Amino acid sequence: MPSIQILPSLLAADFGHLAEACLFAERAGADAMHLDVMDGHFVPNLTMGQDIVRMADRTMNIPSSVHLMCTHPAVLLDGFLDAGSDLILFHVESHDAPGPLLKKTRAAGRRAGVVLNPETPAEACREFLGTVDEILLMTVHPGFGGQAFLQHVLPKIADIRSWAPDLDISVDGGITLDTAEACARAGANAFVAGTSLYRASDMKAEIAAMRERCEKAFFGRRA
């Protein structure tokens, strides 16, 4: 049975104090830290690379979830494995097919997953269900934090959950207490939230509230 996981996204932190932002999230009760790697080509933005992942890995005692928004993740993979990434997430829309990358990541003893953009049909992840640890569904168009949640992704969560009752299914983009609860009701169990957690007046209370609402919604689904 999947467990509820709350992951702050470092993209929403103050880039002048990234190590402190990692520790702050860990102390606030985060289950893992989400790190958004953007290459300026797959998406029109540049963010962080393997050295930030290495810093986070050395700073925190919680796992890292590394989201590669890159056209050619194959050329970057060794660097992110070397940096200590615990989970690496590959977009099915990237130029490099996820299959060999998932295999290589798992062979290195790390967790691996695939990501679907909002308009990519659920079927696109079906061939990977037996070889991934997680499916991440984008609930905004990737590239920037602070965007509004896209409701039309909700049925896709339910479809994938019906195919994979025990898999980790995460959502990323526009996640707040309300949208997290809606995703949990649809079958998501892991929640990436940047703006809503880093802008909260009390991140610890916000994570606790998100966890409580998502647990009720997720485990009460069939009730």
Token reading at 24 = 């702050």
- Minimal distance, residue 138 CB to Zn ion, in Å: 8
Using the rule CB under 6 A, which residue among 174, 184, 188, 203 binds ligand DX5? Answer: 174
Q: What are the catalytic residues?
A: 36, 172
Q: What's the maximum distance between 2 C-alpha atoms anywhere in the chain? A: 46
**Is 145 near ligand DX5 (CB under 6 A)?**
yes
Give whichever of 59 and 195 is closer to ligand DX5, judged by the CB atom. Answer: 195
- Within residues 10-39, the interface with Zn ion by CB under 5 A covers 36
Nearer residue to ligand DX5 within complex by CB, 167 or 192: 192
Query: DSSP 3-state assignment of 29?
Result: coil
Q: Is 146 in the site for ligand DX5 (CB under 6 A)?
A: yes
> Can you tell me which of 62, 125, 193, 200 binds ligand DX5, judged by CB under 6 A?
193
Region of 9-17, 78-86, 89-97, 125-133 interacting with ligand DX5 (CB under 6 A)? 9-17
- Contact predicate 111/80, CB 8 Å: no
Binding pattern for the stretch 171-200 against Zn ion, x by CB under 5 A and - elsewhere: -x----------------------------
**Bridge-partner residues for 168, per DSSP?**
134
Structure tokens at 214: 């998502």
Asked whether the beta carbons of 7 and 192 are under 8 A apart, the reply is yes
Contact 191, 180 (CB under 8 A): yes
Handedness of CA 139, 24, 132, 216 (dihedral sign): negative
The H or E element containing residue 217 is helix 203-219
Indicate whether 40 belongs to the interface with ligand DX5 (CB under 6 A): no
Tell me whether residue 77 or residue 212 sits nearer to Zn ion (CB atom). 77
- The DSSP bridge pattern shows strands 134-138 and 111-116 to be parallel
With contact defined as beta carbons under 8 Å apart, do 133 and 113 qualify?
yes
- Binding residues among 78-137 for ligand DX5 as defined by CB under 6 A: none
3-class secondary structure per residue, 163-209: HCCCCEEEEECCCCHHHHHHHHHHCCCEEEECHHHHCCCCHHHHHHH
Q: Which does 147 bind (CB under 5 to 8 A by kind): Zn ion, ligand DX5, none?
A: ligand DX5
Total of residues contacting ligand DX5 (CB under 6 A): 20
Binding site for Zn ion (CB under 5 A): 36, 67, 172
Which parts of this chain interact with ligand DX5 (CB under 6 A)?
Answer: 9, 11-12, 34, 36, 67, 140, 142-143, 145-147, 172-175, 192-195
